[in-house]
Amino acid sequence: MGRKLLLLFLLVSFTGLAQEVEYENLFSQAIEKNIKKYKIQSKQAYLDQNYERADFLFDSLINNVVNGSRLDNFDIRKTSGKKIDFYDFEKPVFLITYASWCTPGVGEIPALNKIVDENYKEIDFVVLFWDSKKKVKKKARDYSNKIRVVYVDETENTHDHIVQTMKHSLGFPTSFFIDSNKTIIDVRRGVLHPYNEAYNVSYEMNYDSFHNGISLIKSFDVNNQSDIVAKDNP
């Protein structure tokens, strides 16, 4: 009886320790430690019109702080208004954050829809709007029905720290490439080009950017599976 109690105690202790280790590198925690300095330096770079410096600061934040952290779970709503958890998505996730007032390039959404048609069986595609249900339902008509168009209305999430962190630290439109365990592989800003850019140029630029991100997710997933097999068969 004593041995069973000891075994149970050790099992509970190790489980608790494993959970603590698993969640200690959350996105919100990693950002919080570094965002103040980043915002000050980034703001100064833009004031100086030193856009190369601004890009360098963003890339450094992503590569040295964000990548490898685990995106926190948070509540989102479907266009029907039904609330779901972000962790309900079980596949690797390609997440794009938007606001309804963002004006995408003329070829951006068609390029995304094409990428989705080619990869939706392996990856969950999520377009997240920081906006109201009414505005998002109107925007959702442009997207493939294989894309999960969801929204967060900040008036309903005044106490949700991760929502504020995602929106106000990295801006939008922003693409998050996330594995099935919700570990962030990479974060990238949207493709920037003049709004009067020709359709075919806009389409190709966005398609290539999206395709590159999808290839990154797939490569990361394959490498992870190889590591698991190697550990199981030393």
Domain end marker among 14, 47, 69: 69
pLDDT of residue 224: 60
* Same structural domain, 61 and 173: no
Structural domain that includes position 81: 73-234
* Same structural domain, 82 and 195: yes
Single pTM value for the model: 0.81
Give me 117's structure tokens. Answer: 């048609």
Note whether residue 52 is domain-resident.
yes
* Same structural domain, 58 and 85: no
Separation CA 111–CA 200 (nearest Å): 10
pLDDT of residue 217: 94
* Same structural domain, 149 and 167: yes
Query: Could you tell me the CATH number of the domain that includes residue 179?
Result: 3.40.30.10
Which stretch of DSSP H or E encloses residue 232? helix 199-232
* Same structural domain, 120 and 50: no
Domain end marker among 69, 89, 105: 69
Q: Can you name the residues that pair with 178 across neighbouring β-strands?
A: 93, 184
110: left (phi over 0), alpha (psi -120 to 50) or beta: alpha
pLDDT of residue 212: 94
pLDDT of residue 45: 94
* Same structural domain, 161 and 46: no
Please report the DSSP string for 36-104 in residue order: HHHHHHHHHHHHTT-HHHHHHHHHHHIIIIITTPBPPP-EEEETTS-EEEGGG--S-EEEEEE-TT---
Note whether residue 10 is domain-resident.
no
pLDDT of residue 104: 85
Please report the DSSP string for 121-186 in residue order: TTSEEEEEEES-HHHHHHHHTTS-TTSEEEEE-GGG-TT-HHHHHHHHHH-SSEEEEE-TT-BEEE
* Same structural domain, 54 and 117: no
Taking only the tens of pLDDT, the chain with its 234 residues reads 555 444 444 444 444 444 444 556 899 889 988 888 999 999 999 999 999 999 999 999 999 999 999 999 988 999 998 999 999 999 999 999 988 787 788 899 999 999 999 999 999 999 999 888 899 999 999 999 999 999 988 777 655 677 777 777 787 789 999 999 999 999 998 776 666 789 999 999 999 999 999 999 998 865 665 443 343 444
Domain end marker among 8, 38, 69: 69
Tally of domains in the chain: 2
